[in-house]
Amino acid sequence: MKIIVRQVLRITQALSRMPKVMVLTSVVTLFAVTANISHASTENIKAREILNLPANRLAEIAASVARTYGEIKYDAAWLDDNLELLIISEIFFKPMDKNLPDGCDVRVGALNLSNVRQSMTDTDIVTIGLEDVRISQFCMPFQWRAVASMMGVSDIEIPIVQIVLKHQFKSAQTSILVHSGGVDVVDATLDVQFDYVSFNREHYGDLPINARLSSINLRIDNRGLWEAVSILLPSEFSDPNLAGSAVRELIDEFSYLLPNAIYQNFVDQIELAVNNFVVNPTSLSISSNIKKASGLVISNESFMYPETLIDDLDLKLSSGNSKKDKNITGEMISDILSGNFANYDDEVLLTLGEAFLTGRLAPKNYDAAVLLFSYLKDNGISQAEPLLINAYIKQEKYEKAYQATQSLASVGNYESRTLFSVIEENIPLEKVLELQNTSLYLLADPYTVFSQNFYETSHSFLTGRRSIKSYHLAYFWALLALASGDVRAETLILQLEMLQNKLSGEAKEDWIASVSEAQSRALVYWQSKAN
């Protein structure tokens, strides 16, 4: 009995040392799982209903937490198996704030949550989407409501708000994309790119991250706001010769907030951008111009020196028509896809190929991407080869992808090892061995002993790290390594010899013959060395 009591006390002490959030999460998870099991075991329900139990439980927990801040209701929560989405529909939220007038509420048609894993790059993509958002005019300050009323706007209606978070676990590269827009008002897109992101426990109370920012861009596209506002403004604000100066006068009173040099540089940009915008009111963009190759370090200390931070960001303001036009026109696409590659430089073709691969700047089309990347690869553009392989993988043409990866590996590219692992998951071992055998032509003489570091060379052929991938050559070099006294090669040899157990029929006979040939060639080399 004493032993049991002692163990209980130890567990209690251990739990007390755990962060409260972790304990709460564990309890909630346990509650959700056990509730689902008990519910499923007491009722005869369909498989889909079982899958929807965690979704409903998660929605209930979130609603319970949110109800400490206001009245909240929702219609339903479920999992969309086909799109892998968690959906909560018809959300109503009325904040508990005495300072807000009666009638302030927020309605959301649907909240969508998804998490997609890109196995090839070890990247997680989390998407949070809000559809048909309506914010009551009574949630706005009185002055804003007056201006909105003059513009003929009552409630704020936003068709979609989307937040996309991407994090690559291998490099900790992270991106944040936020897009929102109001009907007939504006569209806004914020794009933030980090070279590295990690959490910092030391400053968890303030800014819990340590990151290296590579770029930040905010773009605001006019969808009718300017047309509604401009008629209410004094005439000088809509005159392309006076608008910039008028805005400059308005913001001059805030010049004390920044060092003079930084302020003068930015206000000059504002004046020019405003004049250009009045001429063609399409969009305004603010972009960073970070010059540090390693990125701009963002941490708690960064915000202690805002002047240095602003200077390092080197923000650039421009209007849509004052920026270099990067649009890909339909005429350009037609001309290029007709085979007129020579009319365009390689950078344009590479950009268009990436557009076809990603679906940005042009509709996604893998066939067109392969066409462009193949042309660029044949013309010696090294950046095109990994992109070509990715396009083949998207098309599920794994054999072509494997052959192209062998070519990439033959020139010592570091990306080949990861690409091999992705492709080989989709090709049987028999086909892998066949493709490896047909790639030996990439080497002038596959059996030339060009290094005395036998084991490292064997390992390179085994993994495709900076060399073609060939189990046959890996075995050949491993034989030389073991004969030279490197016992590490013994395990490698056994692994390769055991491949025959995974093969059958003609493929098994071919591999046994391949092993025999490698042994013969290794013996011939050893005899010549002995002499």
Distance between CA 127 and CA 175 in Å, rounded?
Answer: 12
The answer to whether the CB of 242 falls within 8 A of the CB of 236 is yes
Distance between CA 266 and CA 400 in Å, rounded?
Answer: 51
- pLDDT of the residue at 178: 92
For 289-316, the DSSP string reads ----TT-EEESGGGGG-HHHHHHHH--E
- pLDDT of the residue at 402: 95
Instruction: Decide if pLDDT at 508 tops 90.
Output: yes
What is the arithmetic mean of pLDDT over 219-248? 85
Please state the pTM of the whole predicted model.
Answer: 0.63
CA atoms 315, 226, 283, 165: torsion sign: positive
Instruction: Decide if pLDDT at 325 tops 50.
Output: no
Instruction: Decide if pLDDT at 44 tops 50.
Output: no
Q: Which residue has the higher pLDDT, 522 or 143?
A: 522
- pLDDT of the residue at 82: 67
Instruction: Decide if pLDDT at 322 tops 90.
Output: no
Instruction: Report the percent of the chain where pLDDT is more than 90.
Output: 31
User: pLDDT per residue over 346-359, tens digit each?
Assistant: 988 999 999 999 88
What is the arithmetic mean of pLDDT over 440-469? 88
- pLDDT of the residue at 35: 41
Instruction: Decide if pLDDT at 192 tops 70.
Output: yes
Distance between CA 385 and CA 504 in Å, rounded?
Answer: 34
Q: Are strands 106-118 and 174-181 parallel, antiparallel or unpaired?
A: unpaired
Distance between CA 381 and CA 518 in Å, rounded?
Answer: 36
The answer to whether the CB of 296 falls within 8 A of the CB of 265 is no
Q: Around Cβ 451, how many Cβ atoms within 10 Å?
A: 10
- pLDDT of the residue at 466: 80
Q: Among 115-129, 442-456, 478-492, which stretch is predicted with the lowest mean pLDDT?
A: 115-129
Instruction: Decide if pLDDT at 306 tops 80.
Output: no
Tell me the sheet residues that pair with 112: 87, 129
Instruction: Report the percent of the chain where pLDDT is more than 70.
Output: 84
Q: Which residue has the higher pLDDT, 299 or 86?
A: 86
The pLDDT-based confidence of 23 (bands split at 50, 70, 90) is very low
Tokens 């049987």 correspond to what residue?
428
- pLDDT of the residue at 51: 52
- pLDDT of the residue at 530: 59
- pLDDT of the residue at 40: 40
Tokens 């400490």 correspond to what residue?
68
